[in-house]
Structure 1
Amino acid sequence: MTSLIIAAVSFGGILLFLLASASANTALFASNYAWLLGLNAVVALSLLALISWQLRVLWREHQAKVFGSRLKLRLMLMFGLMAVLPGVLIYAVSVQFVTKSIETWFDVRVEKALEAGLNLGRSALDSLLADLAAKGQAMALELAERSETLRRLDINRLREQSGVQSAALFSSEGELVATATGDLTTLLPSQPTPELLRRTLSERRVAVLESHGEKDLNLRVLVAVTPPGLGVETRILQLTDPVPAALALNADSVQTVYADYQELSLGREGLTRIYAMTLTLTVLLALFTAIALAFVLARRLSAPLSILAEGTQAVTAGDYTPRQAVYSRDELGVLTRSFKQMTSQLDEARRDNERQRAELEAARAYLESILANLSAGVLVFDRR
């Protein structure tokens, strides 16, 4: 019984650890939480079945008025209450704490602060994009007054005056006409997509924010360069400029935190339910384990008293056979060993008494046989 309880508790403890880890890990939770929850429920039901069986056995002993059954029942109830009452109190407090803690994660002030930070980052990026678009519009107006040859010569000067990293001039079909860049590691500009070219020809100006990699953000502005006169082909001026690294990093951090917050906010009820179920299973396993161990402890504590009761009844019936002692270092062990020693002494005294009685019976029978065979006798008297 004890080995079964230890095995169930050990297995349940491992499953609870995995369940708690799955609750904290989204990837692990999504794939294995249902299985872990089911296995923990099976362990809890197994312990409940074990407790029910122990209660049935104890009730049968109580109905049969087995000596010590009432003491075992009383000890079991005492140990059970000592485990259940604090467990229920801790469970009630923990559920409230978990619920309130999760609710504090979704404070309105926190949500508004995240939205404000996100809007601030967007405003800063929009401001940079609008500034680059204004520079592109000014450069396009100046280039429109130049010939094709002068455009190729002036584009680098205009880029340097505007403080832009890269400037390029494309035909309406996307062919590169002229380019100028301040980044020596990149000689050719980024090619605009056909969709961007069509939008630029239609809207006359397009400004977009692009991401390259996980942290890099770039500003891209395309402006139509329309020379005066009829029949002259429209060119497209493209300006690109990187977003400052600090601003890009902060904007990405705010965006990531806000996305995580929105994900948690959508799963608020489910998250509360998950943590409550994990806590409930933990408390149930702990309580069922405590109750099962209460049965074991009650039987162990009442076992010496049962031995003493059986020995007392046997002595009353005249059976002085020594009883099995409980070898423990507490007072109950000393009591059972003393009782065993007493019954051993009583058994030895009974045997001595029976031996002496047998000797007396033999002497009496011998004397009777001698007296029965005497036909004559002599009486001798002394002076007394």
Structure 2
Amino acid sequence: MEPRNPDDLAALREASDVLALDALLTPQERATRDRVRAFVDAEIRPHIADWFDRGHFPAELAPAFGELGVLGMTLEGYGCPGRSAVEYGLAALELEAGDSGLRTFVSVQGSLAMGSIHRWGSEEQKREWLPRMAAGEVIGAFGLTEPTAGSDPSSMKTFARRDGSDWVLSGAKRWIGLASIAQLVVVWAQTDDGVRGFLVPTGAQGFGIRVLEPKGSMRASVQTELTFDDVRLPADAVLEGVRGLRGPFSALNEARYGIVWGALGAGRDSYEAALRHALRREQFGRPIAGFQLTQQKLVDMVVELQKGALLALHIGRAKDAGTLRPEQVSLGKLNNVREAIAIAREARTILGGDGVLLEHSPIRHAANLESVRTYEGTDEVHTLVLGQHLTGIGAFR
């Protein structure tokens, strides 16, 4: 048997799909995947090492994401694409094969900000914001995490009090993606009537934004800290459709679903970089892909990628059928991110010393996945979600 050609990526991908999982997708799903993959290859892959190195998020691509149809991808009406959960998952996978930061933009915009407005907003709020956000003309953010309230959002201190017909917002949020380039932030705050959501323009008086940097992860993305110094909001700024933490939790579960797929993209891209390098790199008179230890590493990566893809597809089909449960999403996020990090790290070892250069993707993916592992629920939180499901005993406190 002849060694595989490292330049024939299509053949390498066909060989790596050992279980023929591609055949489980519909023609429409494959077409969506291929369209997003082509966008990533043309618009992200040639520039991502430079963006990561400079700590630059390409906000100018927002309208292109809108034209691609990945902003609010599963939402219906109001100019939103209205595609299936599996199609969105495949898009998330391809976007994160480019970079976690770019997939995160799509998640924050579509699942968190737009999803909250679509599910809990008034008809007027939906008509005002969703069409422009779906087109990438308006960028939104989602403010839940606080300096002292990460895994325990019930302890949030940000508070909105009534003052006549207005609301007055005070407090702080931290690790809020996109806020410095956004026009609107969905902010969750305590009130005398429980947790409520508010639509807060970033230009409101008393609203402060500080970019969190320098970072060693998610460098082609933007994370911020927000402060609210008696920010006055009109009565129609509140999301009237929900009270309590089920509002932000419903949005977080949507974002977690995207991560189940997205992490596979980072893992797959790391594996492919390692495989192609191993086929090209010669030591001791032969390609290192011909050595047993290298083959074991590559096989272990593919086994986990194939298992993770089956898991993601099963979860996606359940979501499209309306039967998906939160603990299933927790299992998918916990497993696929954990395995993707392991794949990225192992891929870096195959690249040897060259693996620390940003022209090779695994070290960038490994760094990014440390953030993905933390946000939308840490490993520990998802472990306890599953533990409570198994035992019926909550171990959070």
How high is the TM-score relative to the length of structure 2? 0.21
How high is the TM-score relative to the length of structure 1? 0.21
Richer in strand (by share): 2
Could you say which structure has the greater relative contact order, defined with CA pairs below 8 angstroms and 6 or more residues apart?
1
Q: Rg bigger for which structure? A: 1
